Every structure is written in structure tokens, then in C-alpha cells.
């Protein structure tokens, strides 16, 4: 699960990096969504045995 999560992170950031047509505010938005996802994932790991 952790490997998959890391893959999601790299996928999001690579797509922002490699497509110049994506504006900077879109990148900020993705970054914000990623932080939100990160908090939810942290909550999940606290309550789940891996």
C-alpha cells in the first residue's frame, strides 16, 4: 500500500512537471489536494494494522 501511495505522489508531480501547458495555480491545487490526501492517509495508517 505504501509503495502504491508513493507511486500516486510521483505520478501527480510528474504530470505537473512535464506538461508546460499546465499553469502554476493548477500545480498549487494539485499540491493542496496531495497534502489533503496525505493527512487522510496518515489517519488511515494510525487506525490500521499493516
CA–CA dist 32, 44 (Å, integer): 19
- Quote the pLDDT of residue 17: 52
The count of residues in the chain is 50
- Quote the pLDDT of residue 13: 63
Helix, strand, coil percentages in the chain from 3-state DSSP, rounded to 5? 80, 0, 20
> What is the residue range of 29's domain?
1-47
Distance in Å from the first CA to the final CA of the chain: 9
**pLDDT tens sequence across 8-49:** 767 666 655 555 555 545 566 667 777 777 777 777 667 665
pTM over cut 0.75: no
- Quote the pLDDT of residue 39: 74
For the chain, how many structural domains are there in total? 1
CA–CA dist 24, 29 (Å, integer): 9
Amino acid at each position: 500500500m505504501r509503495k502504491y501511495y508513493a507511486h500516486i505522489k510521483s505520478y501527480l508531480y510528474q504530470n505537473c512537471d512535464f506538461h508546460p501547458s499546465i499553469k502554476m495555480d493548477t500545480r498549487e491545487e494539485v499540491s493542496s489536494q496531495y497534502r489533503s490526501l496525505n493527512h487522510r492517509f496518515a489517519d488511515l495508517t494510525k487506525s490500521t494494522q499493516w
